[in-house]
Amino acid sequence: MYINGQWRAPVAEQYRPTIDPSTGATLGMIAQADIEDTRLAIAAAREAFDDGYWANMSPGERSRLLHALVDAIEARQDEIAEAEMRDGGCTWRKAYLLDIPVGLIHFRHFAKLADIDPLEPVPQITFPAMSYNFVLREPIGVCGQIIPWNFPFLMAIWKMAPALAAGNTVVIKPATFTPLSLLKMTEIIHDTGLLPPGVFNVITGP
């Protein structure tokens, strides 16, 4: 699991194997989070949000960081595709030519959207006095996200990328049987050092 910028063992020290469905071979042992692990992840995400550094970052700076993050993930996308193929039992073509590249395209889209001015103007009111009106869009806080098994990487991007682009913090849980591509991406994110601790957290389990 990945909580507050660090890899952690589960509190209860429980693990289960993840299996290559094409061979039945064990690919790895996956931490099984319980309620205490979940609380730790939520607390880390809440602290990171309340700190204000990520939530109050300028749209341009947040966009720049997310683009750099996508660049780093793209440079190692073969590792993610391999994990997706082995863990999910999909074909090489689906993993390497569809799921991972399309997910990265979507991540870039949301990184670009992060640079949009959060102020949305609405019609001026001139009576009884002139006023300038706008809608200010703000991040909402901690986003809990649960990912299904059938498109593990792509659907993780659909959840985490818009949440991060808007300035929220994330606690994300991959599907029980297909966690490896998200965990590989988390390893890459950690290696970049671009996200402040607690902004992006991953728990695994049933």
- Summarize pLDDT for 133-185 with one digit per residue, the tens: 888 889 999 999 999 999 999 999 999 999 999 999 999 999 999 999 999 99
pLDDT in tens, 101-132: 999 999 999 999 999 877 788 888 777 778 88
Mean pLDDT computed over 87-95: 92
β-pair type (15-19, 26-31):
antiparallel
Q: Which residues are CB-contacts of 75 (< 8 A; sequence separation ≥ 6)?
A: none
pLDDT in tens, 4-47: 999 999 999 999 999 999 999 999 999 999 999 999 999 999 99
pLDDT reported for residue 44: 99
- Alpha-carbon distances, residue 41 vs 59, 108, 111, 142 (angstroms): 25, 26, 24, 10
> Rounded to whole angstroms, how far apart are CA atoms 1 and 95?
24
Which of 92, 103, 4 lies closest to 44, judged by CA? 4
Q: Phi first, then psi: what are they for 37, rounded to 5°? A: -60, -40
**Any idea what DSSP says for residue 53?**
T
> Rounded to whole angstroms, how far apart are CA atoms 144 and 135?
25
Max Cα–Cα distance, the chain, nearest Å:
75
The CATH classification number of 2-202 equals 3.40.605.10
pLDDT in tens, 183-202: 999 999 999 999 999 999 99
